[in-house]
Each structure stands twice: as structure tokens, then as C-alpha cells.
Structure 1
């Protein structure tokens, strides 16, 4: 105990000796204590008279002030941290709790938080992709006229948070689409999936708290007294770096994803008890009495390659994108074939005459038949199926563009705020924000690439005599690379999440108030200098940059949110 106390006192004494009092340093420089060379104005230009210096070169800063940080002053820290804490940390932490989770494994929910904070790009990408998928499936199916098309759109769109498994063999999917006995199946599943992650008093309060707190921070920055001692601790840059969370949370509330894993599996498993399948007899039989599998089900434990596909939090929708599109395409092909035959007034049983009604609806008697007749009714001519699915690249491009826009508008705003805070240039604070944005983008690239490789590897070359899939060397290699990229991407996201929180906190303990950081050495190099005293011209330039940064972050956040509002809840066809 005594030894630990001695170490703590020694560490504190070391920090005290290493701390820098910049006010004392500039007075000593002006007095000529360190010579008459090295004094500059606030743009880095040498001054004729050292007594007029308001800044010093980086070399003179090290000589006069040392390499340590400014002294830790509790009063300044407590005031700035409590003010900024209420402006960004607590509101954003509360808002983070409004993100949709729903995994049965608590670790998956924790990882979802780390992925969101560590890669806003991935969070925005998954949200944009979910909205685009919902809009795409509605437009794709709306061109068809057949019973339960509207239900199919709602069900498949709501199952984006699950790994769907489609079995089109043995007349399972054909029976589910064609037979009128399965109308209850479609209606019940839509009803069971009606619940949603939507607006609550807690979510509205969190959103209002973040919005009002950030607006107060902005107003205080422009109207309050700017003091050089607390110049970089006003919380405005810190608030901007987290502003992406606001449109992400509101966007998910507008989408209302179905992400309760237990509830989803229970809904699909229970409704399959109502499924019927065509047989060789005239009347169909319950599918659970005839088959061991169902036309539409949810995968369970698909192995390490498809690990993320099993996780229900919506941020993992990036991993389900390609297999979900393939599943939708399977269902669409059956509906398309059935609608084509119905438009020709062909009954499933060729011996049954077509019943014409004013409403134009397909009558139940025209939808009944044996197994062979049902299979033949929806038999499609062979198509050159893509491994990736229709229009996936256009949706990927739009979602990527929106995700990068949101990430770099909020990150860029934070960079601009600290960049144009004297000393102007790339320094430790702005460099930390740039690193955060870059890491966010890298994590997104790694995980999206991992999901594409996982999808590529999930297609066996052929099936052997024992019904075991045989994969090619390229597929096995893609699977291994996918696992490595996924794990490394998650690790980097966790590190990046810790990094940004730690970076923001360090701003309030004077860690960055040192010659190296305040001189913007990262950007200015050998021309680096440290502004110690502000002049009126600095404040006007700084406030102009701050205003532009706030418009950039706020405008792009509103633009992203407006796009989500425009594309969410697309019109559905009449049933």
C-alpha cells in the first residue's frame, strides 16, 4: 500500500514537473529571456520586436516551455467537462441506447454498439441499404397481380434482420404461393410481424435532449467569451463528431426494423404449422405431415463463415444483403410465373374452367391442383441466374455514397472546427478526428468485403452422392479470408470506438495542450508555430469556419434523414 502511494506521488510529481504554463512562457519570450529570435505573429510570420510576439516557433516553444502538457487545473476541467459532458457525452450515451438491438446473445448486442460507434459508415450503410431494399422489393412485386403479393412484400421486407432460407424444391414454395389453403399462412405471418421498434417517450426525450444540448453548445460558442486557455475545450468539435448518431437513430425509428431474434423465429416456426403442400391427391396436406422442411424458414447456426448473418441487430444487415436478395428473387420468380399463368386465365388444374369475376381476383378453384400440376404451373424457363442478384450494385453504390456522406460531413465538421482554431493546421486534435473517420471507413470496407466473400463461398460446386456439398478451392479460400476480415474489422471497430471516446475526454484534461499539438506540427512540419495569445482577427476567422462546419454537419445529417423519410414505407399494391 505504501509502495503504491509512493508510485502515485512520484507519477503526480513527474506530471507537475512536465506541465507547461504557456502564459508564463510567452511573458519570458517577450522579455527576451530566450533571445530575440523565434517570436511570430498568429500567422507564423516573424516579428521585428520580440515583445510583440503572440506566438512562438515550435523549436522555441520546446526550449521555453518544454515538451509537456499544460498543467491540470481542476476548476477549469470540472467546468469544461461538466458543460461539455451535458452537451455530448450523456445525451449521446442515452441516444445510443435507442439503437435497435434484439439479439438473444448479449455479446452480439455489445458488438453492435461497438460497430456503430467504431464505424458510423457501417451503421449508415446498413440503414440506407435496408431502406433501399424495402423500396426495391415493393416496386419489384407491385408489377405482379396475384393473391398475397402485398403480404409477400411486407413479410420479406420485415425479414431483412433474419437469415431467410428458401426451399423451392418438392413443390414447397410453389404450394405456398399457389394454393388458396395457404392464404392464412401469409396473413398470419404479416400479423405476427406487425410489432416494431418505434417511437417511445424515452426515444423522443433522448432525441430532444441531444438536439437541444448541441444547439446550446453552438450558441454558447458563438455568443460566449472566447478564452485562449479553454479554446479547444468548447465541446463544439466533440459534439459534431457524434452528430451522425442523431439521423441514424431517427432513421431506424422511421424504418421500424423487426430485430427481436426470439420473436422472429417463433413467428416463422409457429406459422409454418399452417402451411399446406400439394400432393398426388386432389386435396393438399399439412406440410408438417408430409415434409421435414418448409418453403420459408430461418437459418440457425450456419457456421463461422455466416456468423454475422445470424445476428439480428439491424447493423448486421450488411451481411444479409446478398443472401436476402437471392431469397427474395426465389420467391419473386414463383409469384411471377403464377401471375403470368393467371393473366392468361390458366387454372392450375387444366380441366377446371377459369372463373371470371368483376373484381378480377383469382378464384380459389383456379388455384387448386396436384403436386405435378402446381409444379408445372409455376415452372419457369431457365434463366442465367446471377450469383449476386438483380440491381444489387446500384443499391450498394447509393447506400455507400450516403454512408460516406454522413460519416465525412460530421467528421469533417469536427476537423474543420479544430483545424481553424489557432494554430491553424492539422494538429493532434484534428488528426485524431481524421483517424477516426478513416478507421470508420476502413472497417466498413473490410466488413462489406467480408460479407461478399462469405456469400461467394456459400455456393457449392456440386452435391455428392450423400447430399454433401463440395466446395471449390476458390470458395474455401474466400471463406477463410472472409472470417479473417470480419474478425479484424470488428477488432478495429472496437479500438476505434474506445479511441474516439478517449480522444474527446483527453481534450478536457489538457493532454493535447502541449507544444507539439498546439503548434500543428502534423500539418505545418518545420514551419510549425504555437499561437498563445489570440488577436481579434483570429476570432472572426475562427467563427466563420465554425459556422461553415455546423452547416456542413447539420445540413448533411438533415439531408440523410430526409432521404430516409422519402424512401421509407413505399406504396404497396392493393390486395
Structure 2
């Protein structure tokens, strides 16, 4: 019992020493009065000065005179800074598109977005670039339902797609005139929603107005007493959330998993397929239980778990499978368009009928299963197709560049603001923002690498190559992909918690202690703590603040401008 009492006494003493409140103005006054000797006085640039004129002191003197504790949290300052700089962004996060009917999956998507803005920006940029790519890819074909196909598969970027060519399912969907209603119905069902709502506009407007007002107010406020609790860096750090929300609202992603499954199922009820003898029946009445276009949301495979999640932040995982599915459909329209241009009927025994509408006549679009499959093979196409899809790496490079610009433009802005707030250098505040940016980038690298390995393993498995040679590579790719995905998502979760805690530390004066204020791990033996600002400090500091705000606002406008410019590409008539 006595040992327990001693242990508790020692622990309480240590905790009191660590968390003891420090009054830095009183501490500086005591230092100037010579209570702690005459050595250790510094000016705000770290140069030695007489102790009576010191506005800064060495780290060693700071510890001796002030202790290891932090400045006490002043509720009036904390509440004002929190409600101005952090609370609006936390509220805006509720406008992120989710999609899953599982609350845990939706929470995962939020943590992944906050934990890695780079990944969120990458997924959004890929979605925009894919929409432009598919419009250009199909624009060179001339066949009915091309316009519907572009809109449908662009809308299905947030869904795990599977395109089935067996039993002429895809060929029937592309060629048969009975399936024209399928294309129109699915297009109408997918594109009948509008994501811009009054609540979304109000949330964005509130955040923008609050940010502008607090930035302007921060330049005119009395910074002498609350300089370290100022949220200028915090506001810039979270500014990435604005273009992500605006971008998804502009694109209007179709990510409700329940609704997507219902829409595909409803459309497939009116899909037709040709049989061996040339008769045309509803696909659901055929022997096959498959359809030409299906969703694989309900399928369970640890390798493709992220691909099944319909939240837009997971677009990185669906990118390569989506491209391959679109390429299957593209090949079908390519072949049909080639035969149409050569005035060839599906059934060679049927003469070509000229239609005044400049579209293939219905008689020229019917035949048996084998004839439809041949009709959808391009006349002059390569015998082999890339296992990665056309132009995927160029889109990945562009999306990566934009993701890094947004991530490090906003994080860099916060680092600049904290860096040039005296004491100038890399301290606890700027280092915490640097760690956030680095971990966000690492998460992006891990998860994109995981998606590439997943695609490789999937394609290796689908292409029945020499198994003794290829089995080991498939297993290695699967294991590496799952490991990288779990590691990346774990880091993202920790990073999202870290940045929230770090912002709270910033606003509550937790970082306002000798160690953090002296930039010890940056200045090493030259570390010193600026305890009183002078006119020159304020001018330089506000200049850095202005530069940080301009940097963050600039990258936000660049990213939003990209989304605005490249979204909604022109569609063929």
C-alpha cells in the first residue's frame, strides 16, 4: 500500500510538472529582472542581447525560468478560434458523398478522405478525366445509342461493373433494336437526380464567408496575447475540402449502392438477347442467369473490397476495372459501326435497307447469336488488347499531379504560416502539418499501388495462362495488394485523428510551451523562444500569412477550374 502511495505521489508530481500552466509574460519579466542570471537573453532573430532588453530567451533559460508546461488554455480565445477556423470545416465534411448503406463503410470513407486529401483529389480528378476520355472514345463511332452509352458508363464510375460478352449478351445489347429502350431507360434512371441542394449551397457559402471574414479579421486583431493560438494555419490546412465538395457536386456522382442495384435490375428486366435459331427473347427468360451489364456489389472477395464500395473516394480502386469494362462495350460498338459503314447486315442473307433517318434499319440489326457476336467484332482491330486499357497511365499522371498540387498547396500554406510565426523555423505546429501532408501522400501511394496490384492479379486470373509459371505471381500480387490496402487505410485513419488532435492542440495553446516555441529539433543548440513580438515581426509574419492564404486559395481555384473545364464534355449527336 505504501509503495502504491509513493507511486501515485511521484506520478502526480510528474504530471503536474508536465501540464503545469506557464505565464510567459510574467516569466519574461522575471528573466529581465535578473532572477535567473544575466546569460541567455536574445532578440527575435536569435542574436545575444542584454538580459534587460531581451524579447526572446534561449531554450535552456526558458526551461529554467518557465518550466516544461504550456500556456493555459483561455476559453474565450479557444472558443472563438475553434468556431472560426475549424468548426465550419468539420460541418462541411458532412456534405461529402457517401453511398453505402453501411454506416461503418461511410465512416471509413470519411476517415479515408480526411486522412488523405491527396487520394480524394486523385479520385475526383480521375473521374473527371474518365468522363472526357469516354466521350472522345465513343465519339468516333456511328451507331444507335452511342450517346446513351457514354452517359450511362460515365455515370457508373462509382459502381463495380461487370460486362458479360458470353452467349451474345453484350452483342445483343449493342445491336438489337429491341434493346434501344434498355439504353434509354437506364440513361434516364441514372441521370434524373440533381446533387446541388439548398443545404449544400448554404454549407459551402457559410464556410467561404466565415473563412474570408476570419482571414481579414486576423490581420487587424491584437496578436500579442493569442499569437500561438491563432488559427490562420488551421484554416488554410483544411481548405482542400472546399474544391473536393464542389467538384463532386458538379459531377453529381451516382454512388447510392442500393439505388444503383435497383436501377440496373430494373433496366435488365427489359433487356433482350438473341438465341441460336435467331429468335429474340427477354434475357431473364433465357437459360443464363447473367446480364450484359451487371454490378458486383454483393460479391465478397478481400482482394476487391474497395472496388465494391460505391463512395466516390474509392474511384481509384475502380479505375482500371471500369476502363476494361468500358473497352468491352467500346469494342462492340466499334464492330457494329464498322459493319454499318460498310452496309453489312447482321444476317448476311438480308439485303441492306437504306433508312431515311441515316440509321441502320431494324431489319439489318437482327440475326442469331453467332451472327451478332461476329457483327460486334471490329473489321480492322488488333488481335490482342492491352490488359491495362488505353491512355490509363497518362490520366493517372495528370490526376496525380493535380492531387499533389491540392494536397501540398494547402498543407504547404499551413506550414508557411506556422513556419514564419516567431520563433521562425520548423516547430511543433509546422511539423504536425508536415507530418499530415507526408502521411496523406504515403496513403495515396499505398492505395494506388494496391489497386494496380489488384488489377494485375485479377487479369492474370481471368487470362488462363500457364498456371505453373503464373500462380506464384498471382498469389504474391494478391497478398501484397491486401497488405498495402490495409496498411494505407490504417495510416489514413490515424492521420485523420492526428490532424484533428493537432488542430485542437494549436487552438488550445498546448503547443505554446518552451520546447515547441523554441523550434528545438530545427535550431538544435541555437534554439530560442520569442516571448514578445516587435513591429518588424508583425510585418513579416502578416506577409507570410498573406502569402499562405494566396497559395491555398490559388491551388483551390486551379483545381475547381480544372473540374469545371473538363467536366460535361460535348457528346455526339
TM-score by length of 1: 0.94
Q: Distance in 2 between matches of 1:202 and 1:31?
A: 58
User: Over residues 526-561 of structure 1, what are the superposed CA-to-partner deviations in whole Å (9 max), with x where a residue is unaligned?
Assistant: 111110011100000011111110000001101100
Match of 2:354 among 353, 356, 371: 356
Q: 1:501 to 1:174 in 2, by over 3 A?
A: same
Q: 1:424 to 1:437 in 2, by over 3 A?
A: same
Report what 1:514 is aligned to.
Answer: 513
Q: Distance in 1 between matches of 2:243 and 2:468?
A: 43
Q: Which moved more, 1:60-69 or 1:479-488?
A: 60-69
Does 2:570 align with 1:568? no
Q: 1:559 to 1:512 in 2, by over 3 A?
A: same
Report what 2:269 is aligned to.
Answer: 273
Q: 1:196 to 1:449 in 2, by over 3 A?
A: farther
Report what 1:63 is aligned to.
Answer: 64
Q: Could you tell me how far 1:382 is from its partner in structure 2? A: 4.6
- Answer yes or no: is the 8 Å Cα contact 1:461–1:469 preserved in 2: no
- Answer yes or no: is the 8 Å Cα contact 1:155–1:189 preserved in 2: yes
Q: Could you tell me how far 1:197 is from its partner in structure 2? A: 5.6
User: Over residues 160-206 of structure 1, what are the superposed CA-to-partner deviations in whole Å (9 max), with x where a residue is unaligned?
Assistant: 11110111122111111011011011111111112436111110111
User: Over residues 142-162 of structure 1, what are the superposed CA-to-partner deviations in whole Å (9 max), with x where a residue is unaligned?
Assistant: 111100001110111111111
Does 2:75 align with 1:78? yes
- SS state at 2:162 partner: strand
User: Over residues 483-529 of structure 1, what are the superposed CA-to-partner deviations in whole Å (9 max), with x where a residue is unaligned?
Assistant: 11111111111111111111111123321111110011122111111
Q: Distance in 2 between matches of 1:26 and 1:501?
A: 32
- SS state at 1:369 partner: coil
- SS state at 1:297 partner: strand
- SS state at 2:95 partner: coil
Q: Could you tell me how far 1:15 is from its partner in structure 2? A: 5.5
- Answer yes or no: is the 8 Å Cα contact 2:115–2:496 preserved in 1: yes
Report what 1:449 is aligned to.
Answer: 449
Q: Distance in 2 between matches of 1:470 and 1:196?
A: 49
- SS state at 1:171 partner: helix
Q: 1:332 to 1:566 in 2, by over 3 A?
A: same
Q: 1:304 to 1:516 in 2, by over 3 A?
A: same
Q: 1:304 to 1:461 in 2, by over 3 A?
A: closer
- SS state at 1:44 partner: coil
Q: Could you tell me how far 1:90 is from its partner in structure 2? A: 2.5
- Answer yes or no: is the 8 Å Cα contact 1:338–1:377 preserved in 2: yes
Q: Distance in 1 between matches of 2:108 and 2:462?
A: 36
- Answer yes or no: is the 8 Å Cα contact 1:462–1:470 preserved in 2: no
Q: Distance in 1 between matches of 2:383 and 2:223?
A: 68
Does 2:42 align with 1:40? yes
- Answer yes or no: is the 8 Å Cα contact 2:101–2:258 preserved in 1: yes
Q: 1:226 to 1:456 in 2, by over 3 A?
A: same
Q: Could you tell me how far 1:13 is from its partner in structure 2? A: 8.0
Does 2:490 align with 1:491? yes
Q: 1:469 to 1:316 in 2, by over 3 A?
A: farther
Report what 1:534 is aligned to.
Answer: 533
Report what 1:408 is aligned to.
Answer: 408
Match of 2:304 among 274, 284, 306: 306
Gaps in structure 2 of 5+ consecutive residues: none
TM-score by length of 2: 0.94
- Answer yes or no: is the 8 Å Cα contact 2:423–2:529 preserved in 1: yes
Q: Distance in 1 between matches of 2:19 and 2:88?
A: 37
**How many pairs were matched up?**
562
Does 2:101 align with 1:104? yes
Q: Distance in 1 between matches of 2:213 and 2:291?
A: 56
Q: Could you tell me how far 1:216 is from its partner in structure 2? A: 1.2
Q: Distance in 2 between matches of 1:376 and 1:390?
A: 23
- Answer yes or no: is the 8 Å Cα contact 1:460–1:469 preserved in 2: no
Gaps in structure 1 of 5+ consecutive residues: none
Q: 1:532 to 1:174 in 2, by over 3 A?
A: same
Does 2:218 align with 1:217? no
User: Over residues 415-457 of structure 1, what are the superposed CA-to-partner deviations in whole Å (9 max), with x where a residue is unaligned?
Assistant: 1111100000000000000000101110111111111111111
- Answer yes or no: is the 8 Å Cα contact 1:195–1:258 preserved in 2: no
Report what 1:324 is aligned to.
Answer: 322
- Answer yes or no: is the 8 Å Cα contact 2:41–2:58 preserved in 1: yes
- Answer yes or no: is the 8 Å Cα contact 2:460–2:470 preserved in 1: yes
- Answer yes or no: is the 8 Å Cα contact 1:32–1:50 preserved in 2: yes
Q: Could you tell me how far 1:275 is from its partner in structure 2? A: 1.1
Q: 1:58 to 1:294 in 2, by over 3 A?
A: same
